[in-house]
Copies of this chain bind each other. A is one copy, B any other.
Amino acid sequence: PKQFKATLFPGDGIGPEISEAVVKILHAAKCPIEWETHIIDVRSKKPGEMLVSREALDSVLRNGWGLKGPMETPIGKGHRSLNLTLRKELALYANVRPCLSFPGVKTLYENVDVVTVRENTEGEYSGLEHVVSPGIVKSLKVITRDASMRINEFAFKYARNNGRKKVTVVHKATVMKKSDGLFLKCSREVAKNYPDIEFEELLIDNASSFLVSNPSRMDVMVMPNLYGDIISDLCAGLIGGLGLTPSCNIGENCVLAEAVHGTAPDISGKNLANPTALLFSAIMMLREMGLREQASSIESSVFRVLSEGKIRTGDLGGKSSTTEYTQAI
Contacts and interface: CB of A to CB of B under 8 A. Distances in A.
Interface string A117-151: 00000001100011100111111111111100000
Given A129-B179, A175-B125, A242 B209 contact: yes
Contacts of A233: 205-206, 208-209
Interface stretch (A45-53, A210-218, A301-309, A321-329): A210-218
A237 B107 CA distance: 17
A125 B180 CA distance: 12
Contacts of A241: 209, 213
A205 B175 CA distance: 21
Nearest to A109: B108
A124 B234 CA distance: 21
Interface string A218-239: 0000000010011111101110
Contacts of A176: 124, 129, 139
Contacts of A208: 208, 230-231, 233-234, 237
A229 B212 contact: no
A84 interface: yes
A294 interface: no
A174 interface: yes
A15 interface: no
14 contacts: A75-B174, A124-B172, A124-B176, A129-B178, A136-B144, A137-B142, A139-B141, A208-B231, A208-B233, A208-B234, A209-B236, A209-B241, A212-B234, A234-B234
Interface of A: 73, 75, 81, 84, 107-109, 124-125, 129-131, 134-146, 172, 174-182, 204-206, 208-213, 226, 229-234, 236-238, 240-242
Given A108-B109, A172-B229, A212-B238, 11 more contacts: A124-B172, A124-B175, A129-B178, A130-B178, A134-B145, A140-B140, A172-B226, A205-B233, A208-B237, A212-B234, A213-B237
